[in-house]
């Protein structure tokens, strides 16, 4: 039976983890490689890096991080943030990323999804959708949630499936950082409209939120950042909890 995945996400800026796990035995809390290794040893089904480096001159730092991590972690590694071109994707894959997530550029230039899937296979192309509720619909936001495009999120999700995205990483901008749980409505609507896997993101504050994301939101995988970073829960605890709620996980 296919298991639901738990994916811890690390925000990386200038090659350093911004929000990190506060483990006492950690030699360097800012080292993404070391943190990713802790997650993969703890049973993370995949690792996600979100590069939030703002300045162009430091953009290359992520390649070094990916290269080092991929030599130590033997679970899938997804990298997103600032991906603008097929060439960016190629560089990340060559450094050892298994999947690349495309956000703003997929909205500005949806053809990048077609082109990159054709070139590298859709298995490594994840489209990240940042959506915010506006009246009765969800609209796509880009540039890390700063720009409202007015594009309907559900229509966009369908379009990305047509463009051969392998997976969709759906983040609710209303919930992101609030720790009150995923936007279940948004997740289940998108999941029911597309036939590719949906990864739920944004808003996790406790383990029941992960359960809801899968059971009610019909997500194939759940992504979380802060509940793991601050050591509130370990990946192992999360998996055991999901298992106790009847959700199939890899233990």
Partner 1 sequence: MNITIVDYNSGNISSVINSFNEVAKDKANIEVTSDLNKIKFSDKLVLPGQGSFKSCVDALNKINGLKDALNEFAIINKKPLLGICVGLQMFADIGYEETETKGLGWISGKVSKIDNQNGKYKLPHIGWNQINIVKESKIFKDIENNSHMYFVHSYEFIPSDKNVISATTDYSSNIVCSVEKENIFGTQFHPEKSDKTGLKIINNFMNL
What amino acid positions are annotated as catalytic residues? 11, 130
Any contact of residue 196 with partner 1 (CB under 8 A)? yes
**Is residue 198 a contact partner of residue 219, using CB atoms and an 8 Å limit?**
yes
Give whichever of 53 and 122 is closer to partner 1, judged by the CB atom.
122
Shortest distance in whole angstroms from residue 22 CB to partner 1 = 25
- Count CA atoms within 13 Å of residue 132 on its CB side: 13
- Please report, as residue ranges, which positions from 118 to 157 form the binding site for partner 1 (by CB under 8 A): 120-124
Angle at CA of residue 159, ends 155 and 142, nearest 5°: 70
> Which of the stretches 10-18, 144-152, 190-198, 233-241 binds partner 1 when contact is defined by CB under 8 A?
190-198
- What's 115's DSSP letter? H
Shortest distance in whole angstroms from residue 143 CB to partner 1 = 27
- Please report, as residue ranges, which positions from 63 to 102 form the binding site for partner 1 (by CB under 8 A): 70-71, 74-76, 93-98
C-alpha gyration radius of the chain: 17
Any contact of residue 183 with partner 1 (CB under 8 A)? no
- Please report, as residue ranges, which positions from 214 to 243 form the binding site for partner 1 (by CB under 8 A): 220-221
Chain contacts with partner 1 (rule: CB under 8 A): 1-5, 40, 45, 70-71, 74-76, 93-98, 120-124, 166-167, 195-197, 220-221, 250
């Amino acid at each position: 039976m296919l298991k639901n995945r738990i994916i811890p996400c690390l925000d990386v800026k200038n090659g350093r983890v911004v929000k990190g796990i506060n483990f006492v035995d950690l030699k360097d809390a800012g080292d993404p490689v070391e943190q990713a290794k802790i997650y993969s040893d703890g049973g993370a089904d995949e690792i996600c890096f979100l590069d939030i480096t703002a300045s162009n001159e430091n953009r290359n730092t992520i390649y070094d991080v990916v290269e080092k991590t991929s030599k130590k972690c033997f679970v899938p590694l997804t990298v997103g943030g600032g991906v603008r071109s097929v060439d960016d994707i190629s560089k990340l894959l060559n450094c050892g990323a298994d999947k690349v997530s495309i956000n703003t550029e997929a909205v500005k230039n949806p053809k990048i999804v077609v082109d990159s899937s054709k070139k590298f296979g859709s298995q490594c192309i994840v489209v990240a959708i940042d959506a915010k509720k506006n009246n009765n619909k969800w609209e796509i936001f880009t540039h890390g949630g700063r720009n409202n495009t007015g594009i309907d999120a559900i229509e966009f999700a369908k379009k990305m499936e047509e463009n051969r995205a392998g997976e969709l990483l759906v983040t609710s901008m209303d919930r992101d950082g609030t720790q009150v749980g995923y936007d279940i409505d948004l997740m289940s609507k998108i999941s029911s409209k597309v036939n590719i896997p949906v990864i739920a993101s944004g808003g996790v504050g406790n383990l029941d939120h992960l359960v809801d994301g899968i059971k009610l939101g019909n997500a194939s995988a759940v992504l979380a950042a802060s509940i793991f970073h601050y050591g509130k829960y370990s990946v192992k605890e999360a998996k055991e909890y999901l298992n106790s709620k009847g959700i199939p996980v890899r233990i």
